[in-house]
Chain A
Amino acid sequence: MDLQSFIQSGLLEAYVLGQCSAEERIQVERMATEHAAVRAELSSIEASLEGYASAHAVQPPDWMKASIMERIGQEPPSLSPPDAPALGPGKGSLRFFQILAFLLAAAASFLLLRQKDMARENEQLKSSTEAVKQELLACNQEVLKPDPIAELLCDPNTQRILVSDGKGISTIVYFNARLNKMAYDPYGLPEPKPGKHFQFWAIVGGKPVSMGMKSASICESIRSVENPVAFAISEEPNPEGNAVPTLVLAIGNAG
């Protein structure tokens, strides 16, 4: 087909009205690039369409513009279409990407902060868990630790020695020769006289060895002692006791 036939084929009119196939569109654009006559004809078709439409314009109703503006006012800005202009993305799509970038940055910051928060929470949890773990271990160790008074009282070889004056003083001393431990039951003692204090003694090698002042409980009364022959209670004026018994009130023989 020669140039003139191409121009007169009606294909250019179809092209202008977007009524031709993709292949035909490519053909027209190629011919327009190569031939000024094709470009001129395309321009002439467009001008004639616009000229005719303008010359025969019909005024739309007065409310039309406001209605259109209201409708597009409710429309979000459009996204960049797939067939964006060859001139490059418009400012609209640039704005979209700016918004998208901002949203992504905000999301990333949020996630980062959240991650930091979570890391901090995780550290706190770890720390807290470690503390509980240590406490539990300590408890276990405490529980598992041999209880000296229980060991003493439960040992079948522990002797029960009554230390009594036959009147108000009557207490039991527990002694174990293997453990070399002794303890006593303080509840068997009456209240001492005013200004007086009870002190416990073990007689070792014929000499009195202090086992301390009267304790508040059997657990606190436990002491180490080797080869005692007897246990005694003295009355002392000094609340911290004395190096030797001041007044022996009661005595009980070991073994």
Chain B
Amino acid sequence: MQDQQLINRLQAQDREAIGALYDAYGGALFGVVLRIVQQQELAEQVLQDTFVKAWRNGASYDTSKGRLFTWLLNIARNTAIDATRTAHFQKSRKTDSLDSVVHSPGGSSINPDVIGVREVVQGLDEKYRMLIDLVYFKGYTQEEAAEETGIPLGTIKTRLRYAINELRNVFGEKGVAILLTFLNYCS
């Protein structure tokens, strides 16, 4: 089914459209959600919630504002971010790096290419690398990063954005991987 057909059926509250959306994007979204929440069970819950929210809000999807996948991705990301805003998650996030915690229930790495993202970040200028490390890998909020580093909040935001653009443009898909899973990118 083409995206436009899917959109029409979604907006028409056709439940089968959700099934088609799941078939088309369920795996891609689950991969992103897993990288964000880093827990299989929690990721499964987030993915289900994502499609239920898509069903509830299908009529609000605006084709002029972006791709269907982007719309779903943001629902999934926001749902995942909400799920990670627990004391337990924040604690584990601040003590472990992304590379060391992204594992499937069986213990094997679910996304081998994530290993190496940290190396990619090493290619950034120090003033950007330090912020990416704090905010992306260690889960600091931008306010916490500003407090930690003594750098003004506005500068933190500007540098993080620039760093993300740099990672995406210079380091290709590994930069995109960071973008996809960046929780505190602008908030």
Residues of chain A at the chain B interface (Cβ within 8 Å): 8-14, 16-20, 42, 45-46, 48-61, 64-65, 67-69, 71-73, 75, 77-78, 80-81, 83-87, 89-93, 95
Contacts and interface: CB of A to CB of B under 8 A. Distances in A.
B186 A14 contact: yes
B163 A52 contact: no
Interface in B54-73: 55-64, 66-67, 69-70, 73
A48 B176 contact: yes
Given A18-B74, A78-B13, A59 B180 contact: no
Given A18-B78, A54-B28, A77 B164 contact: no
Contacts of B52: 68, 71-72, 75
Given A8-B165, A16-B70, A49-B73, A81 B176 contact: no
Interface of B: 8, 11-13, 15, 18-19, 22-23, 26-32, 34, 44, 47-48, 51-52, 55-64, 66-67, 69-70, 73-74, 77-78, 110-111, 113, 158, 160-166, 168-169, 173, 176-177, 179-180, 182, 185-187
A21 to B, nearest CB: 8
20 contacts: A11-B161, A17-B182, A17-B186, A19-B185, A46-B66, A49-B176, A50-B70, A50-B73, A52-B173, A56-B113, A57-B27, A58-B31, A64-B22, A72-B15, A72-B51, A78-B13, A78-B59, A83-B60, A87-B64, A93-B59
Nearest to B28: A53
B130 to A, nearest CB: 16
Given A46-B69, A48-B168, A14 B30 contact: no
A71 B48 contact: yes
A19 B186 contact: yes
B73 to A, nearest CB: 6
A166 to B, nearest CB: 112
Contacts of B113: 56
Contact of A58 (B48, B64, B110, B166): B110
A13 B161 contact: yes
B142 to A, nearest CB: 11
B62 A17 contact: no
Contact of B158 (A9, A56, A77): A9
Contacts of B67: 46, 50
Contacts of A17: 73-74, 77, 179, 182, 185-186
A72 B47 contact: no
Contacts of B22: 64-65, 68
B27 A59 contact: yes
Given A84-B60, A85-B62, A90 B30 contact: no
Contacts of A9: 158, 161-162, 165
Contacts of B182: 17
A81 B29 CA distance: 24
Given A13-B165, A72-B18, A50 B28 contact: yes
A19 B160 CA distance: 12
Contacts of B78: 18
